[in-house]
Amino acid sequence: MKFISLFTLLLAVSFTTYSQNNLTPENLWKLNRIYGEQISPDGKTIIYAQKSYQLEEDKGTSHLMKMSADGSDTKMISDGKSSVYEAQWRPDGKKIGYLSTASGTTQLWEMNPDGSGATQVTDFNEGISNFKYAPDMKHISFTMDVKVEESLADKHADLPQATGKAYDNLMFRHWTQWHDYTYQHVFIATYANKIGDPITDIMQGEAFDSPMMPFGGSEQIVWAPDGQSLVYVCKKKTGKDYAVSTNSELWQYDLSTKETKNLTDGHVGYDNEPVFSPDGNWLAWLSMARDGFESDKNMMWIRNMETGTQFPLAASLDQSFGNIVWSADAKTIYAISGVSATFQIFKLDLKKDGADKLKIGAFSALTDGDHNINSISLAGGKIIGSMNTMSKPAELYAWDIKTRAQTQLTHANDEMLAKMKMGKVEKRMIKTTDGKDMLTWVIYPPDFDPSKKYPTLLYCQGGPQSAVSQFFSYRWNFQLMAANDYIIVAPNRRGLPSFGQEWNDQISKDWGGQAMKDYLSAIDEVAKEPFVDNDKLGAVGASYGGYSVYYLAGIHDGRFKCFISHCGLFNLESWYASTEELFFANWDIGGPYWDPSLKDAYAKNSPHRMVNKWDTPIMVIHNELDFRVPLNQGLEAFTAAQLKGIPSKLLYYPDEGHWVLKPQNGVMWHREFYDWLDTYLK
């Protein structure tokens, strides 16, 4: 008994030491998540959300934090019990508005800047979201779900226990939700201490959503500075037309005339994220030129609000932009852009171009380095924003516009990270089979010893157009992989943005072509190192990365000893007939499988056509609520592996979509992930 007790004690001490010195699935969920920063009207104070997770309760709580603009005097001003959402300063700076479910449904609340005096402002039967104050404080806007169409329950009211749903058009389900006959609409209400009826549905019962579902938010709704009109984003299409098009528009609603007009008629791709200049003379937004291509170049467009003239800004730059911020004098625009698998802040100085246009006078980067800047706001002579790296989750920083000096403002995870060892992140340029230089990240174990040999993972990115940048993922976390004693090879293969539009476009209609060669170039080059164990190579990935795993399983010629595919596309023919956003399939695959001209393309690009060459252990992960890449894809792949007698495992979540978002599901995912890898690579 004494021996057992001592052994147990030593094991516990060993585990505690490991937990403190290495990133684990459990302590990954202990990290605080920082987002939603808002600058006070006087530029002196910042509020932001800090979300913490309670793993044992399988939930998270978003707290409202406040600090001075220099990063001092940080404190929590919400009650710490219920989550606070979408917090923002009232235009006069005397109140902070936020959304809370404290009363049962999501309603607007307000508090004093010190956190006192929390008061419920709205009390609707339905919950609200995406609220914004009009700059003159005479109105607020918000969104609510509106029942527009008749359901079977309405039609057959005498059958209250019946569960059927009926549809006669496409988009009957989207990402994780079946269509429930409601649409999200923008509402306007007169602002006072208490808000109730009447309220105005400015979309007048239309069968459209704003913001665009499922990921659009308040960035798609903006008040004009005079408070007399509102611009919102909407793709006013339904059914098949919605499924095959990305053509969203900017719509302006006039409060006095109650009329709505299309500001972007003639633009055929995505138009998104409108931002007025402070003087109201100009409207900037992001626009994609090609209909049906969700990963097209995001260009900045400007509209002269007096003359209606509109024009692209920085059209000659081979970069996509996001998070547009105007200077107070409307003479400068700040924006985020991806460059070589990092995201940086850029400054665009503006000057007049004729009577009613603007052009760039000077263009420069305010930041550089291996990091991702995720969001920015202006506070006097500084920019405040969120930044992370592969080795550090997001914190708030300030950048001095003149000196470009960077200062970390929040330190929500410093204490915990100080106890953890992180592996070296190395940037390599690897030659591809067509002679191009490909940026590849190589991440090493924290206690890397070059005299040892390490199992090595090829990481396959999803998207397919989504850069392998300096993201800090809570699922595909490279430092967590490294902490489990793996070397990770993460190439920015063909089709990934931030390397110019040509590189980005080269994957479309060629999923199984050059991108697959790029993967093999990356792993083959790094495998030449003496510290890489060539007998213990694995490949892992999700979405298009999961597709890549399935594809590599048929062409790898014995390189890999195991695979993991999460929510990957396996059979492009059955996927085309079961996914929902068909514009994506039409653009990237070329069109439907029944098109005779695409017969060879489907034969070349669909992994299910190469199952006859599969011979390597594979783990398949797929989730019930993934309608982007439906469950049948994972089931088909797992069944094929089982029938061929290949060691295989299916991990299935009935309550998750394309991602695994629940804390305990996330920890289980990681445990199973590393159990599979360790079985075949260690």
Residues marked active site are found at 543, 626, 658
Rounded CA Rg of the chain: 26
| 371 CB burial (10 A radius; 0-12, 13-18, 19+) | buried
- Order of strands, sheet of 119-120, starting from the edge strand that comes earlier in the sequence: 85-89, 96-100, 107-111, 119-120
Distance in angstroms (rounded) separating the CA atoms of residues 28 and 477: 9
For residue 214, whether the previous peptide bond is cis, meaning omega lies within 30 degrees of 0, is yes
Distance in angstroms (rounded) separating the CA atoms of residues 656 and 335: 34
Distance in angstroms (rounded) separating the CA atoms of residues 268 and 241: 13
Side chain identity, residue 533: D
Distance in angstroms (rounded) separating the CA atoms of residues 634 and 642: 12
* Sequence-distant (≥ 6) Cβ neighbours of residue 11 within 8 angstroms: none
Residue 573, classed as helix, strand or coil, is: helix
Distances from the Cα of 527 to the Cαs of 228, 468, 485, in angstroms?
A: 62, 20, 16
Distances from the Cα of 283 to the Cαs of 130, 275, 277, in angstroms?
A: 20, 6, 6
Under the phi-then-psi rule, with left for phi > 0, alpha for psi from -120 to 50, and beta for the rest, what region is 326?
A: beta
Distances from the Cα of 536 to the Cαs of 126, 328, 337, 425, in angstroms?
A: 55, 57, 37, 21
**Contact between 240 and 592 (Cβ < 8 Å):** no
Following DSSP, what letter does each residue of 589-626 receive, concatenated?
Answer: T-S-TT-GGGHHHHHHH-GGGGGGG--S-EEEEEETT-
Following DSSP, what letter does each residue of 496-562 receive, concatenated?
Answer: -SSS-HHHHHTTTT-TTTHHHHHHHHHHHHHTTSTTEEEEEEEEEEETHHHHHHHHHTTT-TT--SE
